[in-house]
């Protein structure tokens, strides 16, 4: 029986898969211990071989690296750590030759305090650049309001010369831009045009839902970190500003945007990404499925709840279907590795593949983070002074206030820090995992001797080859891209089972999230004997409609009715 699916407008960005590069740790081409564009050039064929269609670069711009590139000091250049603008152009050209699109990270909520705009505005209250930021008088000896940064203590930094404070919602060296100033918006448009004219295909827009602050900057509800967040998350003018960028720049190019959106819900997301006149972004990265083992932040851990994760995925699948488009991801540079969170270290290979099938078979544009495709895991550092991230430093101070011992803080940090995702990419079992001939800027995970690209290439059953297969299957089957979604066994705490349906074809995705055997009963309407097994993480699969799952087993069946 043919089933009719709702009309979804077909577009290239809905059909692509994206590989994310965090450049500092990807591949070092010049032996200085820092990943760079020469390194990227040498790996373009590898990236292409994954069956992805685009690369998203975390920031490549000049930056003092208070937040590793998310503090930009020059928006129209490339950091000398990574190469030159000329070299970047070559990367774009070589990527395009291979049919790989390039997506830049656009960080416009804040700039570095070392950006020219900030320096000029700090020197002189009468400079036009002063009003590029939020400079305010204090309340007596106190800062202008009670806001706290999400990275570093209070959200206001005092400048003795000016006798004023500037706002930084993130680190002190990340000063918030005043998007209410039309001149700032013109700068943003000029940055967008600069990169689009150079040939890039789109932007990932950093904390884009923070760019509009409530007028008068009122006091916020007191919180341990991030007080004031309700006054700038999805602020009053965010839609207007994004619409303006769309109208004046983005609509004039065949490009794509994905906005990072902490605190986003499906209902609110539709006001940004639903198809139609009011659409201001193509996709959004929400965080709801990343909170199945924690609360508020990655640093307050709870036992993993499969039900919580399924609920988040299913909600977004259901609510976006036919209305807007999902962004699918399990890892990026801001979270510990997924195998250590939702999978199993003991069953690394099995759970790594299962997690891949679980999200790559859903509706949306998938993103794969460097190292995820070979099943990289968290690192365990033996001392707190080995960590380098501003969030880790901040949390250390908070934990100290709570009188936690260094030993306990180290345990928590090893488990929760985003630095787990920032260890150098493991290319081989050779020196420094093949990442660099020099001294790597950060610690290489000692498990590189076992987990590396070279070894995975040689093994037909590696996680790497599973990703390739799953991404190829997705690309070749409109069912996976445009199909309907329906969840089965919602109440199960061990299995995640869903189907996709499109023009008479169906897909059944079965994922076990436990090492224990679970009795799986094929849902009504499916007969495994008639299905084609397209993805699996175990050999010897029977076609029985009732079976006991093996640890972290996954099977994906295709039915052509």
Binding residues (CB under 6 A) for ligand NOJ: these are 67, 70, 107, 170, 206-207, 260, 333-334
Nearest-CA neighbor of 499 among 482, 486, 513, 481? Answer: 486
Nearer to ligand NOJ, 54 or 497 (CB): 54
Beta strands in 6-85 (DSSP E): 18-21, 54-57
8 A C-beta contact, residue 107 and residue 113: no
Nearer to ligand NOJ, 330 or 534 (CB): 330
Q: Using CA atoms, how far apart are residues 288 and 261, in angstroms rounded to an integer? A: 10
389 is catalytic: no
What DSSP designation does 160 have?
T
Nearer to ligand NOJ, 177 or 357 (CB): 177
Closest contact distance (angstroms) between CB of 374 and ligand NOJ is 22
Closest contact distance (angstroms) between CB of 392 and ligand NOJ is 12
Q: Using CA atoms, how far apart are residues 284 and 172, in angstroms rounded to an integer? A: 27
Nearer to ligand NOJ, 35 or 551 (CB): 35
What are the distances in angstroms from CA 128 to CA 33, 56, 120, 219, 477? 40, 33, 9, 27, 54
Q: At 360, which helix (H) or strand (E)?
A: helix 348-360
Q: Using CA atoms, how far apart are residues 119 and 171, in angstroms rounded to an integer? A: 17
Beta strands in 88-234 (DSSP E): 101-106, 110-112, 135-136, 156-159, 164-167, 174-176, 202-205
8 A C-beta contact, residue 492 and residue 521: no
Closest contact distance (angstroms) between CB of 309 and ligand NOJ is 21
260 is catalytic: yes
Q: Using CA atoms, how far apart are residues 110 and 96, in angstroms rounded to an integer? A: 30
Nearer to ligand NOJ, 226 or 531 (CB): 226
8 A C-beta contact, residue 266 and residue 326: no
**526-552: burial string, b at 16+ Cβ within 10 Å, e else:** bebeebeebbbbeeeeeeeeebebbbb
What DSSP designation does 7 have?
P
Q: At 557, which helix (H) or strand (E)?
A: strand 554-560
What DSSP designation does 523 have?
P
Closest contact distance (angstroms) between CB of 391 and ligand NOJ is 7
Q: Which of 71, 206, 373, 484 is catalytic?
A: 206
Closest contact distance (angstroms) between CB of 50 and ligand NOJ is 22
Closest contact distance (angstroms) between CB of 169 and ligand NOJ is 9
Is the C-alpha dihedral spanning 170, 175, 181, 184 positive or negative?
negative
Closest contact distance (angstroms) between CB of 447 and ligand NOJ is 24
What DSSP designation does 363 have?
S
Closest contact distance (angstroms) between CB of 390 and ligand NOJ is 8
8 A C-beta contact, residue 312 and residue 291: yes
Closest contact distance (angstroms) between CB of 6 and ligand NOJ is 33
Q: Using CA atoms, how far apart are residues 26 and 91, in angstroms rounded to an integer? A: 14
- The tokens for 180 are 């209410």
8 A C-beta contact, residue 498 and residue 522: no
Nearer to ligand NOJ, 261 or 481 (CB): 261
Nearer to ligand NOJ, 234 or 363 (CB): 234
Task: Name the closest residue to ligand NOJ (Cβ).
Answer: 70
8 A C-beta contact, residue 185 and residue 244: yes
Nearer to ligand NOJ, 260 or 499 (CB): 260
Q: How many CB atoms lie within 10 A of CB 26?
A: 26
Nearer to ligand NOJ, 206 or 553 (CB): 206
Q: Which of 113, 201, 244, 260 is catalytic?
A: 260
For the chain, the helix, strand and coil percentages under 3-state DSSP, each to the nearest 5: 35, 20, 50
Nearer to ligand NOJ, 22 or 256 (CB): 22
Closest contact distance (angstroms) between CB of 333 and ligand NOJ is 6
8 A C-beta contact, residue 479 and residue 505: yes
Q: Using CA atoms, how far apart are residues 285 and 204, in angstroms rounded to an integer? A: 9
8 A C-beta contact, residue 113 and residue 134: no
Q: Using CA atoms, how far apart are residues 561 and 559, in angstroms rounded to an integer? A: 6
Residues noted as catalytic: 206, 260
């Amino acid at each position: 029986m043919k089933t009719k699916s709702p009309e979804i407008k077909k577009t290239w960005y809905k059909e692509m898969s994206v590989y994310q590069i965090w450049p500092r740790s990807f591949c070092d081409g010049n032996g200085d211990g820092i990943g760079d564009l020469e390194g990227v050039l040498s790996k373009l064929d590898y990236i292409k071989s994954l069956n992805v269609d685009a690369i998203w670069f975390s920031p490549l711009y000049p930056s003092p690296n208070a937040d590793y590139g998310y503090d930009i000091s020059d928006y129209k250049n490339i950091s000398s750590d990574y190469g030159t603008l000329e070299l970047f152009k070559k990367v774009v050209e070589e990527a395009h030759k291979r049919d790989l699109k390039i997506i830049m990270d656009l960080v416009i909520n804040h700039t570095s305090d070392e950006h020219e705009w900030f320096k000029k505005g700090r020197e002189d209250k009468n400079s036009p650049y002063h009003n590029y930021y939020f400079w305010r008088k204090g309340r007596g000896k106190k800062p202008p309001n009670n806001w706290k940064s999400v990275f570093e203590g209070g959200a206001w930094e005092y400048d003795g010369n000016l006798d004023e404070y500037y706002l930084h919602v993130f680190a002190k060296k990340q000063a918030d831009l005043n998007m209410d100033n039309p001149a700032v918006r013109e700068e943003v448009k000029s940055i967008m045009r600069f990169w689009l004219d150079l040939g890039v295909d789109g932007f990932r827009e950093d904390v884009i839902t923070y760019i509009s602050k409530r007028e008068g900057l009122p006091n916020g509800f007191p919180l341990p970190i991030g007080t004031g967040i309700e006054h700038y998350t999805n602020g009053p003018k965010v839609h207007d500003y994004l619409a303006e960028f769309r109208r004046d720049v983005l609509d004039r190019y065949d490009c794509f945007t994905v906005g990072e959106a902490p605190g986003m819900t499906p209902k609110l997301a539709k006001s940004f990404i639903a198809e139609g006149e009011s659409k201001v972004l193509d996709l959004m990265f929400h965080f709801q499925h990343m909170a199945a083992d924690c609360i508020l932040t990655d640093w307050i851990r709870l036992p993993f709840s499969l039900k919580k994760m399924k609920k988040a995925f299913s909600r977004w699948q259901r609510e976006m279907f036919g209305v807007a488009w999902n962004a699918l991801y399990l890892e990026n540079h801001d979270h510990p590795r997924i195998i250590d969170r939702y999978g199993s270290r003991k069953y690394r290979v099995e759970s790594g593949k299962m997690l891949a099938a679980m999200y790559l078979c859903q509706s949306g544009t998938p993103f794969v983070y460097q190292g995820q495709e070979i099943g990289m895991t968290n690192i365990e550092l033996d001392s707190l002074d080995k960590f380098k991230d501003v969030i880790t430093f901040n949390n250390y101070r908070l934990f100290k206030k709570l009188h936690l011992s260094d030993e306990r803080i180290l345990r928590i940090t090893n488990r929760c820090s985003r630095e787990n995702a920032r260890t150098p990419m493991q290319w081989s079992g050779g020196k420094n995992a093949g990442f660099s001939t020099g001294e790597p800027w950060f610690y290489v995970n000692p498990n590189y001797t076992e987990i590396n690209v070279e070894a995975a290439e040689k093994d037909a059953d590696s996680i790497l080859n599973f990703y390739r297969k799953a991404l190829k299957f997705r690309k070749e089957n409109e069912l996976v891209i445009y199909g309907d979604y329906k969840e089965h066994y919602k109440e199960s705490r061990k299995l995640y089972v869903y189907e996709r349906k499109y023009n008479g074809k169906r897909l059944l995705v079965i994922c076990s999230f436990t090492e224990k055997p679970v009795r799986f009963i094929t849902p009504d309407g499916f007969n495994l004997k008639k299905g084609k097994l397209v993805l699996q993480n175990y050999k010897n699969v029977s076609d029985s409609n009732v079976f006991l799952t093996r640890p972290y087993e996954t099977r994906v069946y295709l039915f052509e009715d």
